[in-house]
Amino acid sequence: MVHCLFASWVICGAALASAPSTPDPRRYDGYALIEVQLPDRAAVAQLLAMGVDPWVETVGPGVVPVLVAPDRRAAIEASGWTVHVVTDDVQPWLDDERERLATRSRVQHGGDPFADYLDLDEVNTVLDDLAAGAPELATVIDLGASIEGRQIRGLRIGTGNGQSPALVIVGGQHAREWIGVSTSLWIASRFVQGAAEPEIAGLLANLDVVVVPVVNPDGYRYSWEAQRFWRKNRRDGVGVDTNRNFGYGWGGEGAGFEPEADNYAGPAAFSEPESMAVRDWVLDHDEVVAFVDLHSFGKLLLWPWGHIYEDAPDAMALETMGTDMAEAMFAVHQQSYTAIQGVDLYPAAGNSIDWAYGDANLRAFTIELRPGPDVESFEDGFLLPPDQIVPVGEEAMAAVLVLADWSAMQGGGSEGTSTGGDPSTTSGATVDDTGSDDDSTTGSATLTSATMDDAGPTTANESATAADDSSSSSGANADADSSGCGCTSDAPRGPIGFAGLALAFALGRRRRPASAAARQ
């Protein structure tokens, strides 16, 4: 958005007239994605000195996926380390995605909002359409402006007028994690369009649901138009990781202090308008009782704390509910999500749910959506194929319903929740049918067994065992396959993300050997 001061309208007008059209996105021709097995810290240092771009936050011994410029590749291959070449050239993946998106039917022209990913304008159109289609139930809300002046918008669903407890669901903190945005919209859409279904009607009698699909609109736009794998906001063109900028435990372990770092925490807690907007909206609404932050990827359910290796005061209840949420997700498409305390993935001081829980007193979870660490399903990374948008939405909705049940009970309401009974022990079984068989909803999808596995959800206890077992290995994916990279096919794979491949040992300020930082 360009702001023109009256006194300088000529200059501003000229600037507008000559404003460049969107530049072509950054290209990665000949950049290879390579997973390197690093035996020790010396190897880590050696690799980083080669000027490669690791696609994980916590670089340490173990498997490190790196994006390698053509002129750096020979050095890596001569290093003697075990390497797995995921692809010789990532650019065709990006070209394919761009071409696909260019030919999609946009929402503004009647396109199905869940057939493919949505750019920022489309997201806003979906929010407007949902509100316009159910004005008595849904209202667009404005949480404030991003650093570049874009509105951070959401949808408030419910009739509580501040009297009912509220559940807040946010997505799109991390710009490249497009599935979190679509999943947020799926959840909003299910609550609005399913409002007459007994289960959702029962909930909405006692609950408001607030969905903010894109907390970081500048970064999201930038990821669409300029740099697909951008993660942070757009502060000074360098960016701050808003999920390190929240004010509980800010600056602790897992926070970056170099502005160039992908986990840069910013100069101070809540220095960023995006994290501030979430904070202020929540604090302005006493009725908020629960908070979900959608990310990708890794198929994980994370609860506080994420910044210290200590149990949260409500650790038992959080673990029980996290496990219930994972079970509910599994029941939908038999996708196994692992429920663990956040810090056991890796420490991430300044993350949103620690603040939500610690300062705002909310029951709070991060969900890392698909793909997961299961063999072969890491193939897509941030480039998750669009045919997974609906199934991911369906399984995420199942998790949200577990928390919604609990939330609805916080206002003292006694009727009409989806399961009834003790919400702290809500079983996912009751949400099996939430949308999964309902092809009448927007963006209906026929689900195939291709998306299914039968491993079952992984509980925190199982994860803890895995963590113990992996203390001398790479942490995540330690037992995935003999190469340790969790990959068994040569099929094209997307970049590996932070949660997608949390590595066990950390550099710099991340001091604690993450012997517990493992998934199965």
Q: Which of 57, 199, 253, 368 is catalytic?
A: 368
- Our answer to whether residue 368 is catalytic in this structure is yes
Beta carbon of residue 293, minimum distance to Zn ion (angstroms, whole number): 8
Which residue shows structure tokens 């956040």? 342
Question: Which stretches within 90-177 are classed as H helix?
Answer: 91-102, 120-133
- x/- letters, 401..440, toward Zn ion (CB under 5 A): ----------------------------------------
Q: Which does 116 bind (CB under 5 to 8 A by kind): Zn ion, ligand 0X9, none?
A: none
Q: Which does 52 bind (CB under 5 to 8 A by kind): Zn ion, ligand 0X9, none?
A: none
Q: Is 351 in the site for ligand 0X9 (CB under 6 A)?
A: yes
Footprint (CB under 6 A) of ligand 0X9, residues 18-57: none
CA pair distance 439, 14, nearest whole angstrom: 51
Residues 300/367, Cβ–Cβ less than 8 Å: yes
Beta carbon of residue 464, minimum distance to ligand 0X9 (angstroms, whole number): 15
Q: Is 174 in the site for Zn ion (CB under 5 A)?
A: yes
Name the nearest CA neighbour of 65 among 82, 86, 51, 50: 86
Q: Is 306 in the site for ligand 0X9 (CB under 6 A)?
A: yes
Q: Is 366 in the site for ligand 0X9 (CB under 6 A)?
A: yes
- Residue 70 has a CB neighbour count (10 Å cut-off) of 12
The CB-side HSE value for 32 (13 A sphere, CA atoms) comes to 17
Query: Quick one: which of 84, 174, 176, 363 contacts ligand 0X9 (CB under 6 A)?
Result: 174
Q: Which does 447 bind (CB under 5 to 8 A by kind): ligand 0X9, Zn ion, none?
A: none
Name the nearest CA neighbour of 339 among 347, 349, 351, 329: 329
Query: Quick one: which of 342, 386, 435, 475 contacts ligand 0X9 (CB under 6 A)?
Result: 342
Query: Quick one: which of 118, 343, 367, 396 contacts ligand 0X9 (CB under 6 A)?
Result: 343
Beta carbon of residue 61, minimum distance to ligand 0X9 (angstroms, whole number): 19
- x/- letters, 375..394, toward Zn ion (CB under 5 A): --------------------
Beta carbon of residue 171, minimum distance to ligand 0X9 (angstroms, whole number): 11
Beta strand 62-68 with 363-369 is unpaired
Footprint (CB under 5 A) of Zn ion, residues 289-318: 295
Residue placing its CB nearer to Zn ion in the complex, 223 or 323: 223
CA pair distance 170, 174, nearest whole angstrom: 11
Residue placing its CB nearer to Zn ion in the complex, 47 or 329: 329
Footprint (CB under 6 A) of ligand 0X9, residues 177-236: 177
Residue placing its CB nearer to ligand 0X9 in the complex, 381 or 413: 381
Residue placing its CB nearer to ligand 0X9 in the complex, 222 or 346: 346
Beta carbon of residue 254, minimum distance to ligand 0X9 (angstroms, whole number): 6
Number of residues that bind Zn ion (CB under 5 A): 3
CB burial class (10 A; 0-12, 13-18, 19+) of residue 161?
exposed
Q: Which does 306 bind (CB under 5 to 8 A by kind): Zn ion, ligand 0X9, none?
A: ligand 0X9
- Residue 447 has a CB neighbour count (10 Å cut-off) of 18
How wide is the angle at C-alpha 233 spanned by C-alphas 230 and 234, nearest 5°?
90
Please name the residues in contact with 153: beta carbons below 8 A apart, sequence gap of 6 or more: 124, 127, 140, 141, 142, 143, 212, 214
Which residue's CB comes closest to ligand 0X9?
A: 306
Beta carbon of residue 370, minimum distance to Zn ion (angstroms, whole number): 13
- Residue 303 has a CB neighbour count (10 Å cut-off) of 30
Q: Which two tokens stand for residue 287?
A: 């009725």
Q: Which does 127 bind (CB under 5 to 8 A by kind): ligand 0X9, Zn ion, none?
A: none
CA pair distance 207, 274, nearest whole angstrom: 25
Q: Which does 351 bind (CB under 5 to 8 A by kind): Zn ion, ligand 0X9, none?
A: ligand 0X9
Number of residues that bind ligand 0X9 (CB under 6 A): 18
Beta carbon of residue 177, minimum distance to Zn ion (angstroms, whole number): 5
Residues 473/482, Cβ–Cβ less than 8 Å: no
Query: Quick one: which of 152, 214, 215, 499 contacts ligand 0X9 (CB under 6 A)?
Result: 499
Q: Is 295 in the site for ligand 0X9 (CB under 6 A)?
A: yes
Residue placing its CB nearer to ligand 0X9 in the complex, 63 or 343: 343
Give phi and psi for 143, each to the nearest 5: -90, -10
Q: Is 302 in the site for ligand 0X9 (CB under 6 A)?
A: yes
CA pair distance 362, 359, nearest whole angstrom: 8
Which residue shows structure tokens 């493919």? 116
Q: Which two tokens stand for residue 384?
A: 């998750």
The interaxial angle of helices 120-133 and 217-225, nearest 10 deg, is: 130
CA pair distance 230, 222, nearest whole angstrom: 7
Beta carbon of residue 471, minimum distance to ligand 0X9 (angstroms, whole number): 18
Q: Is 244 in the site for Zn ion (CB under 5 A)?
A: no
CA pair distance 236, 255, nearest whole angstrom: 19
Q: Which does 158 bind (CB under 5 to 8 A by kind): Zn ion, ligand 0X9, none?
A: none
Please name the residues in contact with 67: beta carbons below 8 A apart, sequence gap of 6 or more: 28, 31, 32, 33, 52, 53, 54, 55, 90, 495
Give phi and psi for 204, each to the nearest 5: -70, -10
Piece of the chain touching ligand 0X9 by CB under 6 A; list 155-163, 209-217, 345-353, 450-458? 345-353
Residues 338/458, Cβ–Cβ less than 8 Å: yes
Question: Which stretches within 309-433 are classed as H helix?
Answer: 315-333, 352-358, 389-409
Q: Is 243 in the site for ligand 0X9 (CB under 6 A)?
A: yes
Residue ranges that bind ligand 0X9, judged by CB under 6 A: 174, 177, 243, 295, 302, 306, 342-343, 345-348, 351, 366, 368, 497-499
Q: Which residues are the active-site residues?
A: 368
